[in-house]
């Protein structure tokens, strides 16, 4: 019997809860609408952020280098101010400048690291996508300029590796006058180096660069922002309506007593 009574009371409480919220529907509407309107104004005046990726992978290497070495060298050259300025002098018609990709900035006479949000280009490494250049822009011209610059770095890297491979080849040939009598390891390295040089001369490069992905808008996320604003506003409004009802009932009890 007590269980039936408890179930009956719960049903009554639930009914009263729904009735209280329904009676306060206009307050709920106000509490929901105001944050939605404020969020909408915020979203409208916020500068949109776009992101695009230039994915690259190690493609051709001499036998004495690993993929990690190639990625590290590409990153070093990509962010080198000297390399960029030399390239920019020959491509002054392109829009990007060194501060667009610089990892540091001068603040009050001190060099400090830039926040990720203030950097236009970054090198990212992920398990799923691999390595790529993240470019925060919706401008296709700017994106293409970054691709051209990345291709230039790839050309420099390939030329540098070919020179190093040629030096290694000369060293081996100088030390071993009769290659035919050398060990299989030496001959294998010699052939691998020679294959790399021949492939590079035919157009192979250290890295394979993919064309930039279409710029995707990452913020503001209008739909998500409005939905969250409505939910938060509705929750606050519900607490206010229910709390006001409790206070009203207590006052009535006090007055009746």
Mean pLDDT to the nearest integer, 103-120: 83
State how far the Cα of 92 lies from the Cα of 254, in Å rounded to an integer: 82
State how far the Cα of 237 lies from the Cα of 72, in Å rounded to an integer: 54
The pLDDT of residue 89 is 94
State how far the Cα of 29 lies from the Cα of 198, in Å rounded to an integer: 73
For residue 110, give the 3-state DSSP assignment: strand
Q: What is the pTM of this model?
A: 0.72
State how far the Cα of 226 lies from the Cα of 230, in Å rounded to an integer: 6
Q: Does pLDDT of 182 surpass 70? A: no
Contact 133, 202 (CB under 8 A): no
Would you say how long the chain is, in residues?
257
For residue 58, give the 3-state DSSP assignment: strand
For the chain, the structural domain boundaries read 49-217
- Identify the top-confidence range among 23-37, 137-151, 190-204: 137-151
Least confident residue range of 43-52, 82-91, 95-104: 43-52
Q: Does pLDDT of 14 surpass 50? A: yes
Average pLDDT of the chain, as a whole number: 83
Q: Does pLDDT of 12 surpass 90? A: no
Query: Residue 232: which residues within 8 A CB-CB, separation 6 or more?
Result: 35
Contact 209, 150 (CB under 8 A): yes
Query: Residue 126: which residues within 8 A CB-CB, separation 6 or more?
Result: 132
The pLDDT of residue 4 is 47
Q: Does pLDDT of 220 surpass 70? A: no
Mean pLDDT to the nearest integer, 76-89: 95
The pLDDT of residue 183 is 61
Mean pLDDT to the nearest integer, 194-215: 93
Q: Does pLDDT of 2 surpass 60? A: no
pLDDT in tens, 231-244: 888 888 888 888 88
């Amino acid at each position: 019997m007590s269980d039936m009574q408890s179930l009956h009371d719960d049903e009554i409480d639930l009914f009263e809860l729904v009735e209280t919220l329904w009676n306060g529907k206009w307050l709920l509407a106000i509490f929901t609408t105001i944050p939605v309107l404020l969020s909408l104004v915020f979203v409208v005046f916020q500068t949109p952020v776009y992101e695009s990726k230039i994915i690259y992978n190690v493609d051709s290497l001499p036998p004495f280098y690993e993929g990690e070495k190639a990625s590290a060298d590409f990153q070093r050259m990509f962010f080198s101010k000297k390399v960029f300025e030399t390239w920019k002098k020959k491509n002054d018609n392109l829009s990007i400048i060194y501060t667009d990709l610089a990892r540091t900035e001068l603040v009050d006479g001190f060099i400090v690291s830039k926040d990720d949000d203030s950097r236009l280009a970054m090198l990212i490494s992920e398990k799923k996508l691999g390595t790529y250049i993240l470019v925060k822009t919706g401008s296709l011209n700017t994106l293409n300029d970054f691709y051209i610059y990345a291709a230039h770095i790839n050309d420099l890297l390939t030329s540098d590796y070919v020179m190093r491979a040629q030096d290694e080849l000369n060293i081996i040939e100088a030390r071993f006058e009769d290659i035919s009598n050398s060990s299989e390891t030496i001959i294998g390295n010699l052939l691998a180096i020679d294959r790399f040089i021949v492939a590079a001369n035919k157009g192979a490069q250290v890295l394979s660069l993919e064309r930039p992905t279409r710029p995707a808008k990452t913020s503001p996320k209008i739909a998500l922002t409005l939905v969250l604003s409505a939910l938060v506003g509705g929750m606050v409004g519900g607490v206010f309506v229910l709390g006001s009802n409790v206070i009203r009932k207590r006052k009535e009890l006090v007055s009746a007593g």
